[in-house]
Chains A and B, each alone.
Chain A
């Protein structure tokens, strides 16, 4: 173990770790927002409403994130029309390509989590809401989504951890996040084991912190604890 080397490169690795957290943070939040309509449509009673999110989810869950990243980053740029469109200032930037792809990818998974959670709500509760005179939208906003978010939270926290690890792929489209930074450092030092081990420790710490955070959130959201009020 070359400790001197490890200490020397810590600041650069921290820089990369920060970018990793930023990418993951934006992707899982934007993905959640995108997933809500998808998940609700996916659990609709009408087959034609289910079809669109089904196709979307099928594509994004059926192909590797690496392929999706390359399609968006290198693939889109193959077409002149896209290079001259209004979207180009965004698509030209690897940062936004990574954020967009990761968001679309995680939204497909979150939508499935949401569908599972919605289907796990006892139908009686929704019927009760309707019987109280709530409209379909009111029932969705006040009963279904809050219930589903509690049921789906543990699975969502898993998905966030999975995205944290998947973000390592952003290194393949020139982003210097934790893995990209490690590979760049190794390109100069030729010491893969030390640097990758350090990166691994950073990832472990980050996922540990996230697990703790979600556990706190789960405890706060638990209904039973509010019964005394």
Chain B
């Protein structure tokens, strides 16, 4: 039984089918990259997995347990954490408070402890702060942890978002175009981080356009085109796959 198993997923909006019968599996400590031209349904498939959309057909299971139809917060609780294509931080909150939102389910505070400021409350606040700073460090964040996230430079915002996802203690980390907009140094930092995360047994599912990064990191690559999966295999196989080459022909963006 796979850690994450997606079977025959189908999602349509009105008459437009954006995901059409996609299946894939993910094992612990595996890095699966999902590639495909723009509009291939990659992010939509992500959204079905994390509970943002409810697919019309198909199933998503974690450890054999079906999660389709569960609210996103429950799915997060089962060990799926994600980042977004266009960052979605809480801009007015400090970097560390953003990460503490990822720690939400791991933190417990009873109302009485809060109202009476008991030592238990203070300890839990201190611990969540320490953990938040730890995850910021892991993500390579170098700024002031107390600064509002919305005022940070782009690269730092990406790290805060990664730290927020990691803080949730995921078993599957879903990254939607993690390298978009990163410079060379930031990109190699990201590669190191993803390898490190994987070495702890976490599975990584990532959408990425940067083929260099995909070939460097992924154990397996799934290729989507117009809602369908047209190939799935090790990077070397995918590179020479005729269907993949055809799908990318004439798509200048994806080749970049």
- A, B: real partners: no
B interface residues with partner A (beta carbon < 8 Å):
none
A interface residues with partner B (beta carbon < 8 Å):
none
